[in-house]
């Protein structure tokens, strides 16, 4: 029979294994947590820096575009783009473009904003409710302010086909900004708050994305806006949405409301 004396290294091996299996001390654990937190903060600062650069570029492009259309209200490229969009006058396409714009033409979109705010507040997600109402309000006020400052006339019937007449100034598109503020924020909440392949999450993301993407072409097709109006609205609306999400995330982590 083999004894421990016949296995001179067994005790040393067991000792080494025991030493390796010893858990980290509280000080070592705290050190690892601190390192991870520091790395997370560095990544966040880097991401914030990149986003701020993107926002700065968007604002610069928006400012240049706003000044250009203020000086040159009628741009040949805008007219050519509208003519290209309006070549297809198929009934299904016309109805689709009208349906996409309808929530912004009527009281449906304000009603959706109000209903979403009330439902979110009643369900206890009050921070999200405030952001839905707040972002839509800020977007509306900023759009009105910029339109007055730029003072660009809307497309006229002697230049393009006016499928749906609208009043007021043209730059930037109020529909596009409003859709980004509401549908874009709902899309962001769908990505941030929910996980998995649930049908309702897929429906929320698909519907929200479709409205944001299609509202721009819809406004051009209907003759309500020039393509540059739509581009400007996407630029400034994207900045507003990005800033809103950037404010929302740290507040959500801290458990505000």
Per-residue model confidence as pLDDT tens digits over 167-177: 899 999 999 99
Percentages (nearest 5) of helix, strand, coil residues in the chain: 75, 0, 25
The answer to whether residues 104 and 211 touch, using CB atoms and an 8 Å cutoff, is no
Q: What is the pTM of this model?
A: 0.83
Would residue 55 be called left, alpha or beta, if left means φ above 0 and alpha means ψ between -120 and 50 degrees?
alpha
**Structure confidence by residue, pLDDT tens digits, 59-69:** 999 999 999 99
Q: What is the pLDDT of residues 20-54, one digit of tens each?
A: 555 555 555 666 666 776 776 677 777 778 888 99
Average pLDDT, the chain: 88
203-247 per-position pLDDT tens digit: 999 999 999 999 999 999 999 999 999 999 999 999 999 999 999
């Amino acid at each position: 029979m083999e004894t421990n004396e016949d296995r001179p290294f067994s005790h040393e091996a067991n000792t080494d294994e025991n030493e390796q299996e010893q858990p980290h001390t509280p000080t070592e654990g705290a050190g690892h947590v601190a390192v991870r937190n520091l790395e997370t903060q560095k990544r966040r600062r880097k991401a914030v820096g990149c986003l701020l650069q993107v926002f700065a570029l968007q604002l610069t492009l928006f400012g240049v575009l706003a000044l250009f259309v203020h000086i040159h209200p009628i741009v040949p490229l805008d007219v050519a783009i509208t003519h290209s969009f309006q070549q297809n006058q198929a009934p299904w396409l016309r109805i689709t473009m009208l349906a996409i714009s309808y929530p912004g033409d009527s009281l449906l979109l304000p009603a959706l904003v109000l209903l979403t705010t009330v439902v979110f507040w009643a369900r206890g997600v009050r921070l999200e409710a405030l952001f839905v109402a707040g972002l839509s309000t800020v977007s509306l006020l900023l759009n009105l302010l910029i339109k007055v400052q730029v003072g660009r006339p809307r497309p006229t019937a002697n230049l393009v086909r006016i499928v749906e007449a609208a009043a007021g100034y043209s730059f930037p598109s109020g529909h596009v900004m409003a859709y980004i503020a509401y549908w874009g924020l709902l899309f962001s909440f769908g990505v941030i708050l929910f996980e998995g392949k649930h049908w309702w999450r897929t429906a929320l993301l698909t519907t929200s994305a479709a409205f944001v993407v299609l509202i721009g072409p819809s406004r051009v097709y209907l003759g309500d806006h020039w393509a540059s109006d739509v581009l400007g609205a996407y630029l400034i609306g994207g900045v507003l949405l990005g800033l809103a999400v950037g404010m929302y995330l740290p507040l959500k982590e801290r458990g505000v409301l």
